[in-house]
Amino acid sequence: MTHTPSTRIPRTVRVIAIVVALGIAATLAAAPRLAAQSLQYRAPDGTEFRALADTGPVARARAALAGEPRSVARIIALATAQSSARQYREAIATLGAGIAAMPDEVLLYRWRGHRSITVRDFATARADLARGLALDSTNYGVLFHLGVMHYLDGRFDDAAALFARAQPRAPDGGERAGSTDWRWLSLARAGRRAEGDAMLARRPDSLPVPPTYAYVKRLALYRGETTPEQLIATGDTADVQRATLLYGLGTWQLVRGDTASALAAYRQAVATGGWPGFGFIAAEIELARLTRTPASRGVGTDAPPPRRAPTRAERAAARDSAAALALFRENIDAIHTRDHPRYLRTYLQTPGLTIGGLRGLTRGWAAWPARTDGAPQWPDTLIATELRVAPVAPGVVYGVYRYRGVVKGRASVGISERLFVRTPQGWRIGYSASYPDTLPP
């Protein structure tokens, strides 16, 4: 699918692309190796956290997937290998391609939801984990990670309920300790600490687990079996381990009324470098809550800051965004599966359709070559990340994502954008364009 020529657009205003991708097998198995140091997360203070280099496991997992391209286990194995190298955005893309081909596989939503929390894409995490819960309301990983997401959102009662459902389904002692820990935290933050203490007294975390495991150590603190001074040992040097312990310490202090000590612990947690850990993520959020004005955060209480009820316009904008995001994913799924009719159905089929790019603008459905292209030139590989939407007017939503792929044997990296419009026939794409990161000479 090609676009007619256009004038070059400055880098500061470039827009995004029609990106079309190969189906699941090539997308996952033949995807090019990404830069080892890709940016994964930029903290509020501007600190950048990047991926690690692959020392072999990612390459081996990718090769194994090539032999079984529709194996859910192989897809998850590749995503797990990527995550072990802190290539979380690449893992999310791997899982996303799997979801495009197998949209009812609960484990793919469980893992993409988990890793979306890691990179702070909370909107995707909420949507994926809710979808996973709808597919299987007994899946431990879905229950646990949706509980974490609710906790981060300040929905402590809802989080406690999910952790209660997760606890008996934990597959091992480590997970049982984790769900027990987060259940106690949720109950304590919801003002139900006595209920949490009674739960700990029943010892639901009695399955075997190493005593150095972070959640085991935090639970000992909550039970009064260790002291804050004993919580972090000299052997606790790993960044995620330290962030996890410090967050537990800070929240234990917070629910006991010692906000100053809690703030100190949270600041130490975010200084560990353990940015992928839930303790680090939660500490970032707690710092944001606690450093608001006293009137907005409710000093001296365990309740989250009060939330203003959304206005009618805000609710409408949220509905527009959700509808546009669904169409956005439909469009990309059609690309992944090379479904040309489905792909075309996502676009506005009127003279108002506009397709942009470095070569210029194509105006109107009738003038768009993709409409009649019997053999579309799909790229060899597509990985789409950082999917975002933003309402700009009633019935109009802007969307953007980053793409990485191979087109006719050449690597392509850039940004693709869409403008979604509400029509009597439903939501459609009214504008689409893409620009590479490096402009041609």
pTM value is: 0.62
Find how far residue 238's CA is from the centre of its chain.
23
pLDDT at site 438: 61
Which pLDDT belongs to residue 13?
33
pLDDT of residue 59: 96
In three-state secondary structure terms, 144 is helix
Helix runs in 19-168, H state only = 24-29, 57-67, 72-84, 88-101, 106-118, 122-135, 140-152, 156-166
Q: What pLDDT is stored for residue 377 in this prediction?
A: 74
The encoded tokens of residue 98 equal 């799997």
Written as one string, the DSSP assignment of 308-350 is: PPPPHHHHHHHHHHHHHHHHHHHHHHHHHTT-HHHHHHTB--S
DSSP state of 4: -
Q: Which domains does the chain have, with CATH numbers?
A: 11-19+314-436 (3.10.450.50)
Alpha-carbon distance 300 to 259, whole Å? 8
SS3 288: helix
- For residue 318, the model assigns a pLDDT of 86
**Residue 267, pLDDT score:** 96
Supply the pLDDT for residue 27.
40
- Distance between CA atoms of 376 and 105, rounded to whole angstroms? 29
* pLDDT given for residue 307 in this prediction: 52
Q: What is the C-alpha separation between 247 and 265, in angstroms, rounded?
A: 7
Residue 33's pLDDT is 43
Q: How far apart are CA 145 and CA 191, in angstroms?
A: 22
- Are the beta carbons of 348 and 421 closer than 8 angstroms? yes
How many angstroms separate the CA atoms of 260 and 249, rounded?
A: 12
Report, in this order, helix, strand and coil percent for the chain, each rounded to 5. Answer: 50, 15, 35
Residue 313 has what pLDDT? 86
Grouped pLDDT means (10 residues each) for the chain, 441 residues = 35 33 37 62 91 94 95 97 96 96 96 97 95 96 97 96 97 97 97 96 94 96 97 94 97 96 96 96 95 46 50 86 89 83 92 88 89 75 82 93 78 89 94 77 49
Query: What's the pLDDT score for residue 110?
Result: 98
